[in-house]
Structure 1
Amino acid sequence: MLWLHIIQYAGFFLAQITNSVLVYLILTKAEKLFGSFRHVMVIFALFSLVYTWIEVLTQPVMHIKAPLFIVVMDSPLKYEKWIGNNITCLYCGSFALLISLLASQFFYRYVAICRPGILSKIEGYKLILIFLPCITCFVLWFEFVYWGMANTVEKQEQRKSYRDELKFYYNEDSSKVSFIAPMYWSIGKNGEKIWNFWECMSSVGCFVIIAVCFSTILYCAYKIYRSMKSTECHMSARTLELNRQLFITLTFQTILPFVMMYSPVGLLITLPIFEVDVGRVSNFVGASAAVYPSLEPVIAIFCIKEFRRTITCNH
């Protein structure tokens, strides 16, 4: 756990630096380059900063042993259940908001390049409209976790082997520490599986949010690429170059979270259903999610030429 927390704190401090630099570059260099898209970029960067604060307040420790996966709070607030469980739910909901904000960037670029006729409908104060689905994703994920993965007495006492694992690996008492955990089934008196429908549906809901966000990104990326290829001969060299830089930036900003967030969290949700016990190896998910917000801004800083020139003092 020492190494996990070192990674979490390192990710937190690096994210403060890289996201702050990106916000500064957007505010000072991006107005003439990207127009209203800079607002979408800066909101994503600012929320990445907020996410890192929530993450370091939670310091999540994760463990998988069928029929449940557990996200245990390991910050100094972990024994304050009145707030600890809520912060842990907020951490999970913030993950959904982060990935949906990334999808909103792709959607804006899709409208700007593929559907310019309706761009005026999301300009100015109307820009808030593209963030409404993001807020919806956040609220839904928070509610799925809060109600469907709640910290209950049944889970605290669920079979001696689970309680012993928490004690052995993390030196934690499940009856005292804050955590969230979907328990997909319980064992009946005759040893039969009794599926917990609402807990399963809560996990399905979280998985659907990931799938919808990633599908939106893939669809918009494909349409943007096709549109740029078909109209590149009608664009000025400057416009074409800016669109190319943004497309490359968004492409890498898709690959990175797919590897570091989408796939790991998806596995965290689904592995217990198939009774795949990976134990504390699942903490790679927490470590990866802690590092990701510090790397995301680096892509924009070095893929967008004006930003890169400013950082390297090469004008």
Structure 2
Amino acid sequence: MTIFTVYSIIYTWIEIIALPLMHIHKSMFIMMVDSFLRYEQLIGYYVICFYCASYALCISFLATQFYYRYVVVCRPDDLGKLKGFRLFFIFLPGSFFFVIWYSLVFFAMEKTEEKEEIARQVILDVYNEDSSTLAFIALQFWDNYSDGSRHFRWIDAGGYFGCLCIMGICFSTIMFCALKIFFKLKCEQTAMSAKTKDMNRQLLLTLVFQTALPFFTMYSTVGIILTLPIFEIEVGRKGNIVASLACVYPAIEPLIAIFFVKDFRRVKGQLTLQLTIFHCKKAKIILVEAQICSLTSL
């Protein structure tokens, strides 16, 4: 959980550096750099590819977190195999997916003169930018010819299906681990005390929401936004909500546990109270110092 939380902060900074803008035009999904690097063709291209790969690492770490919970709850005898440096082995799949996703975006969604020309007018009309000077990547599914014929772009489609496979593997891992943990905790409720049952119920609720929310914020939205261009369904700038939802979930995830688990709420309440007392004392000290200064000046 600590690694996922730390990486979530890093992922946010990567997004700030890239400031990705998404747009769907006909059969093309466009992702542009809107930060200070938007006119840096080479660096901007690497940055936007790195941002996309960072998303893959984020969902991979989330799946890794669920796998570790599964080992702790359902296979405690195997927990010893994940001690020390061996713990880092469970992060290898995520690193592998990072490299694969980066390669898929780098090669399959590469900016070409043809994509520049197709995106030129819409980028000029909507963003008042020249596509030839702007750093962006694009996923294009169809080539339309003047005679009315169409050609499916298999290289771009390969990148699309590769990304879907990675998302499918990660979410399948989460679902498998979450269901195993859920039924394990359910089965153990019969032999629990009332207090333990209450804690178990809190953990089950936390598990349900931590499983459902990523599907709606990080998986289904990205899958849908990448699929719409196949059917030439244009949503324009509305596609940017996907990036917003993807970066929001890492911040929401710890709040779910704080909301459902009483012990976490109690600690949060104590910290809030201590901070309030600290600020009140500080305000009193400042007030006393101000009064002393006022009396001294008299």
Give TM-score, length-normalised by structure 1. 0.80
Cα gap change, 1:198/1:238 in structure 2, threshold over 3 Å: closer, same or farther?
farther
Q: Tell me which residue corresponds to 1:70.
A: 30
Report the CA distance between 1:247 and its aligned residue: 4.1
* Pairs within 5 Å for 1:202-221: 202-221=159-178
What letter corresponds to residue 46 of structure 1 in structure 2? Answer: V
Report the CA distance between 1:79 and its aligned residue: 0.5
Indicate which of 104, 107, 124 corresponds to 1:147: 107
Find out whether 1:107 has 2:67 as its counterpart.
yes
Q: Tell me which residue corresponds to 1:195.
A: 152
Q: Tell me which residue corresponds to 2:222.
A: 265
Report the CA distance between 1:225 and its aligned residue: 1.2
> Contact between 2:124 and 2:130, CA under 8 Å: does it hold in 1?
yes
Indicate which of 103, 118, 121 corresponds to 2:81: 121
Q: Tell me which residue corresponds to 1:14.
A: none
Find out whether 1:303 has 2:263 as its counterpart.
no
> Contact between 1:89 and 1:146, CA under 8 Å: does it hold in 2?
yes
Find out whether 1:132 has 2:92 as its counterpart.
yes
> Contact between 2:210 and 2:253, CA under 8 Å: does it hold in 1?
yes
Cα gap change, 1:246/1:143 in structure 2, threshold over 3 Å: closer, same or farther?
farther
Q: Tell me which residue corresponds to 1:252.
A: 209
Q: Tell me which residue corresponds to 1:4.
A: none
> Contact between 1:106 and 1:250, CA under 8 Å: does it hold in 2?
no
Cα gap change, 1:61/1:302 in structure 2, threshold over 3 Å: closer, same or farther?
same
CA separation in 2, counterparts of 1:165 and 1:259? 29
Query: What secondary structure, in the 3-state scheme, does the structure 2 residue paired with 1:278 have?
Result: coil
What letter corresponds to residue 263 of structure 1 in structure 2? Answer: S
Query: What secondary structure, in the 3-state scheme, does the structure 1 residue paired with 2:139 have?
Result: coil
Query: What secondary structure, in the 3-state scheme, does the structure 1 residue paired with 2:35 have?
Result: coil
CA separation in 2, counterparts of 1:215 and 1:169? 38
> Contact between 2:27 and 2:233, CA under 8 Å: does it hold in 1?
no
Q: Which has the higher contact order (CA 8 A, sep 6+)?
A: 1
Report the CA distance between 1:253 and its aligned residue: 2.1
Give identity over the alignment, percent.
47
Query: What secondary structure, in the 3-state scheme, does the structure 1 residue paired with 2:21 have?
Result: strand
CA separation in 1, counterparts of 2:25 and 2:225? 10
> Contact between 2:140 and 2:156, CA under 8 Å: does it hold in 1?
yes
246-255 or 146-155: bigger deviation: 246-255
Unaligned runs of 5+ in 1: 1-40
CA separation in 2, counterparts of 1:242 and 1:144? 44
Q: Tell me which residue corresponds to 1:17.
A: none
